[in-house]
Amino acid sequence: MVDRGQPPDDPDAPAVQEGLSAVPGGTPTVSGPGRGRVLVLGLLAAAAVAAVVGYQLRRAHRPPSILLVLVDTLRADYLGAYGFTGGISPNLDRLAAESVVFDHCFSPAPWTKPAVASLFTSLLPRTHNVLTHKGRYIDRARPVTRTDALSARATTLAEALQAGGYATAAFVANPWVQPDQGFGQGFDHFDGRFAGNTTPAAPVLAAAQAWLAIRPRDRPFFAYVHLMDVHGPYDAPAADFEAVRASPDLGPPHRLDDAEVRAIRPYLTGLPWVRQPGARERRTWRARYAAGVHALDRQLGPFLDALRADGTLAEAVVVVVSDHGEELAEHGGWDHGFRLYDHQLHVPLIVRLPGGRHRRVGALVDLLDLMPTLLGIAHAPMPPGLQGRDLSRLIAGAVPDAEAGAVVAGGVKWEPGEHAIRTPTHKLITKLPSGRARLYDLRDDPAEQRDVAADAPEVAQQLAEELARRVQAPGAAPRFAPEQAEVPPALEERLESLGYVER
């Protein structure tokens, strides 16, 4: 809660002398008889005003608290603030209207584990090496009992803020992002009891709100909230489906052919609505995904309202982001983690500053930039070797060069060597160290449907060289040695419900 004037429970807050009132010139007046008391009261008033000003300056110079809300699997283009029509996200749209909104933020990986590891460390997936499950995806026919874990050698965002005096807490509903896999580093309090796809946002947000109510008041906080409502198997309540099913942004009517039906992941096919006639319609699947966004937003509204009411939004930086997007048959497939097209990489990034300030930023940015940006806002030391950029100047109002920069992605589940590099005008997807490259001209083909590598070989070569320079050149950051964590049966069951274990 932000301090308004002098909080009664703060022992450092100055008391204001009774009988004095400020007048438009700053001169105190005396509310009582007796000239002999004027000098004394005047000196007391000056001291009180100086104390108030000093106290407010100390508070103003204290680093801001930070609330980071990650909505798993949320595509940017399925929010109203990013152009989706039909009332899908009124609460997040309201937040975006008083925030700095990055129009072109991309994830460095199309699935949770490497993406969040990159967000936490500002390192590319190839550098932090959280990539695989003993070399492959989990398959029940070939049991896997261990999985990549985030190295303790990596300095996380939470560790850096904790070292800077922040109280830190995490509330996480994803079973991959847990302390036993290296993601608890730097958190004073880690609440992972919600891990699994069946937990809606409300209890996770309630736990976060309860911690915010009892957090230490003598230092800023960093709270990380990871929500799973948008992730498959698309089981949002029917009312949320009805609220979004008519949106024109779900695309034109299209009956799924047999190949498209066979491509649907098994974990997405177990709900009752999948057995209804409308399940052969592509718009139905997209509306079911959109219903998860609507359900998430509906639960997030009261949480944000409570933060407004108790003053937290007046003192904290609030960030809303996602780890990756979702394919909804744009390239003949479903789910996420298997391709590097924009529908799996383009994520929202909404940064609300204390008090609110709205602008849109068109520069290319990615999740690696979030750690150095938040450390810059917090005036905390930057750990060496970060591969992201500090965006605090853009957030403060600097004009970006919309034609500059590129972002890199990798960490595909079955193809760890698959990488992409994206500029404002082109996307190259290839397998390192060498492999066939696919090039897309995003100016004419934003849906990435036509490979133009043969038509523009010089562009493909230039991007391939830049990608190799960033990812595997001798001057690139050294890779962490792989570390592994056990996958106990209880975790395996949760992962199966999210499509990470296949029978």
Distance between start and end Cα atoms, the chain? 48
- 457 vs 111, 366, 425, 453, CA distance in Å? 30, 26, 15, 6
Is it true that domain 62-163+205-424+473-497 has CATH number 2.40.160.40?
Answer: no
Separation CA 438–CA 427 (nearest Å): 8
Q: Residues 323, 349: contact at Cβ < 8 Å?
A: no
Closest-CA residue to 325 (of 298, 349, 301)? 349
> Which residues, at least 6 apart from 12, have a Cβ–Cβ distance to it below 8 Å?
55
Q: Return all residues near 180 (Cβ < 8 A) that are at least 6 apart.
A: 149, 485, 486
Closest CA to 320 of 352, 292, 358: 352
d(CA 360, CA 364): 12
Residue 441, H or E segment: strand 438-441
* Beta strands 346-352 and 316-321, pairing class: antiparallel
Q: How many CA atoms lie within 13 A of 132 on its CB side?
A: 12
Nearest CA among 446, 444, 440, 445 for reference residue 460: 440
Q: State the Cα–Cα distance between residues 74 and 120, nearest whole angstrom.
A: 18
Pull the structure tokens for residue 67: 């609330």
Q: What is the pLDDT of residue 496?
A: 62
How many helices and strands (H and E) does the chain possess?
Answer: 15, 18
Helices 201-214, 282-309: inter-axial angle, 10-degree rounding: 20
Rounded to an integer, what distance in angstroms lies between the CA atom of residue 414 and that of residue 141?
A: 16
Contact partners, residue 480, CB within 8 Å, separation at least 6: 127, 128, 129, 151, 153, 154
- Angstrom distance (rounded) from CA 360 to CA 373: 16
Report the pLDDT value the prediction gives residue 61, as an integer from 0 to 100. Answer: 72
Confidence (pLDDT) at 498: 63
Long-range contacts of the stretch 244-248 (C-beta < 8 A, 24+): 244/86, 244/87, 244/88, 244/287, 244/290, 244/291, 244/293, 244/294, 245/283, 245/284, 245/287, 245/290, 245/291, 246/86, 247/84, 247/85, 247/86, 247/88, 247/287, 247/290, 248/85, 248/86
E strands, 38-124, in order: 65-71, 100-106
The ranges assigned to domains in the chain are: 62-163+205-424+473-497
Q: pLDDT tens, 277-287?
A: 889 999 999 99
3-state secondary structure of 418: strand
Kindly list the distances between the CA atom of residue 180 and the CA atoms of 116, 145, 464, in Å, as whole numbers in the listed order. 15, 14, 37
The answer to whether 352 and 92 have CB atoms below 8 angstroms apart is no
| Helix 370-377 and helix 112-121, axial crossing angle in degrees, nearest 10 | 30
Report which residue type is found at 230. Answer: V
CA distances from 277 to 274, 280, 281, 282, 496 (A): 8, 6, 8, 12, 26
Q: How far is CA 434 from CA 130, 344, 429, 467, 468, in A?
A: 22, 23, 11, 11, 9
Handedness of CA 422, 426, 430, 432 (dihedral sign): negative
Low-confidence ranges of the chain (pLDDT < 50): 1-59, 134-139
Instruction: Output the pLDDT for position 484.
Output: 66
